Amino acid sequence: MTNKKFFLDQHGCAKNQVDGEIIVTRLLNAGYEQCSNPDDADLIIVNSCGFIESAKTESLNSVMEARSAYPDKKILLAGCLAERYAEIFKTELPEVDGIFGNGDLSQVESTVAAVFKNQRPMVKPEQKGVCCGDRKLLLNYKGSAFVKITEGCNNCCSFCAIPLIRGTLRSRKADEILEEIKSLLKEGIFEINLIGQDLAAYGCGKDDDVFNEGKNGFKGLYSDLTKPLIASLENEEMKNPSYLYRLLEKISALEGTFWIRLLYIHPDHFNPDILQLMEKDKRILPYFDIPFQSGSDPVIKAMNRKGDFNSYVKLIETIRSRFPESSIRTTFLTGFPGEDEENQKQSEEFLNAIQSDWSGCFTYSAEDDTPAANMKKQVKAKISLERKNRLEALQDQITVNRLAQRCGKDYQVLVEEIVENHEGSDDGLAIGRAWFQAPEVDGSFVIRYDLDDKKAVEAIQPGRVVLVHALTSSQVDMDGEYIGS
């Protein structure tokens, strides 16, 4: 056993968060002690993001700040940035005492031991399988958890470094995913967020055999697509259920009250058969995270995607015809090489057409070793930012309108935190999320209740679900009153 203490400085996406939770658990099992303040730590682990330039800068700044503030402490650079630039950092980042990639998290204990022995390890394991395992600590608010079902990606969008960082597509066995979900539900988790680089491609990796059948009938279907799957079917039902459908079907067979949320489905691979399953089981939320990136046909093509303005609009129309109140989240990338003002206007027109409830917008950054980095007509950063601001302003107004339509209705809300009561006030205040609000990226639901109402006070606790009547909405949040549990 060891009495060494570590502090986790977490960065990046939900996938990286799960990795961070696994790292914490493995170190706790090895006898290390986690602390909530870096002042008390012997080791600071920066679990970095390496997706885009701004995220890389943020992670590196965290390393530099930690080294400046704690010159005598050990620092381990982990995560995507460590995976991507391990060889470079070995010689050019003397501020860290070790480098740990994300290919095999089971090596974190030996890596940390080597750090404390002043060996300055550089560990970059082969990207193999899906990193998963027991998690004693979840970094979400109480009642919610991320469950990774795939790792890596085969889409190879021309701007994206994910295949370089996380490798090619691999999927977890369905039974393994089910067991993890069962375990989380037993621990009182209400919201299960399924995550991966492309959930639609679940089970379609080169070596995948997620149902132990010794075959994978969807490999060819996805690799041979010349247009989005939903357009390729031309209103015909899929001849065979997709592997994502079959996984969700198994999850749907579980008893109990819970939410299943799907985060990130590539628009070219969207599985239309999952819609009928969502209609049958309301626990599978009609929340769709579909990153379109652009609404301009030439830009979409240059991004190495199969769709276009019309087919992507049709996808949203199909979803909303089945689920009029569905929540749509998307992502846009401005300043892609060759993008001009007309392309920008097409993206704005596209956003107006799909009326997404939420969207994120990022300016393009030339990522090393991606095809787009060598493309001509790179767009100036100032122009990219201006276009980003225009799309965000448009989305802000759409979000206001979409949220306003949800007022006057009752919603189950997962409570995240209790707000300290203002002195002299009889009103209780809590923050939570309804089904149309994903963790960390969307708005919140403000819950108001009477502090003299004993039932309300007992019911409104972090991790619990209460019924709230939506009264008003703001630019990103809902505001309502507690009506029951």
How is residue 291 written in tokens?
């990153």
3-state secondary structure of 109: helix
**Among 435, 433, 460, which residue's Cα sits nearest to residue 444?**
433
Distance separating alpha carbons of residues 342 and 282, to the nearest angstrom? 41
Sign of CA dihedral 416, 458, 452, 483: positive
Which range is least confidently modeled, 113-127, 301-315, 345-359, 420-434?
A: 420-434
The answer to whether 174 touches 250, Cβ cutoff 8 Å, is yes
Residue 162 has pLDDT above 60, yes or no: yes
Distance separating alpha carbons of residues 338 and 376, to the nearest angstrom? 7
How is residue 480 written in tokens?
């309502």
Output the pLDDT for position 235: 62
Specify the pTM: 0.91
Residue 74 has pLDDT above 70, yes or no: yes
Q: 469: number of CA atoms within 13 Å, CB side?
A: 7
What H or E segment, with its residue span, contains residue 5?
A: strand 5-10
pLDDT tens digits, residue range 412-464?
Answer: 999 999 997 655 567 899 999 999 999 989 999 999 999 888 999 999 999 99
Output the pLDDT for position 53: 81
Phi, psi dihedrals of residue 297, rounded to the nearest 5°: -55, -45
- With tokens 């990606």, the residue in question is 153
Phi, psi dihedrals of residue 269, rounded to the nearest 5°: -105, 5
Output the pLDDT for position 165: 83
Between 82 and 175, whose confidence is greater? Answer: 175
**Among 318, 244, 248, which residue's Cα sits nearest to residue 278?**
248
Output the pLDDT for position 421: 67
Distance separating alpha carbons of residues 25 and 31, to the nearest angstrom? 10
What H or E segment, with its residue span, contains residue 112?
A: helix 108-116
- Ramachandran area for residue 214 (φ above 0: left; ψ -120 to 50: alpha; else beta): left
Sign of CA dihedral 389, 395, 397, 403: negative
Helix H, strand E, coil C: the string for 273-286 is: CHHHHHHHCCCEEE
Output the pLDDT for position 94: 87
**Among 70, 117, 72, 84, which residue's Cα sits nearest to residue 98?**
117
Output the pLDDT for position 315: 94
Residue 358 has pLDDT above 80, yes or no: yes
pLDDT tens digits, residue range 51-65?
Answer: 778 888 888 888 899
How is residue 383 written in tokens?
């122009």
pLDDT tens digits, residue range 318-337?
Answer: 999 999 999 999 999 999 99
pLDDT grade, residue 181 (50/70/90)?
very high
Residues 6+ apart with CB under 8 A from 235: none
Residues 6+ apart with CB under 8 A from 311: 227, 228, 230, 231
Output the pLDDT for position 214: 83
Distance separating alpha carbons of residues 347 and 61, to the nearest angstrom? 33
Residue 468 has pLDDT above 90, yes or no: yes
In 35-169, which ranges are E strands? 43-48, 74-79, 98-100, 122-123, 144-148, 150-151
Mean pLDDT to the nearest integer, 336-361: 96
Residues 6+ apart with CB under 8 A from 153: 160, 162, 163, 166, 168, 169, 197, 198, 201
What is the CB neighbour count within 10 angstroms for residue 39? Answer: 10
Indicate the burial class of 66 (C-beta count within 10 angstroms; 0-12, 13-18, 19 or more): buried
Residues 6+ apart with CB under 8 A from 48: 11, 12, 56, 59, 60, 62, 63, 77, 78, 79, 80, 81, 82
Question: How many helices (DSSP H) and strands (DSSP E) are in the chain?
Answer: 16, 19
pLDDT tens digits, residue range 276-316?
Answer: 999 999 999 999 999 999 999 999 999 999 999 999 999 99
Residue 220 has pLDDT above 60, yes or no: no
Distance separating alpha carbons of residues 237 and 226, to the nearest angstrom? 18
How is residue 86 written in tokens?
């391990």
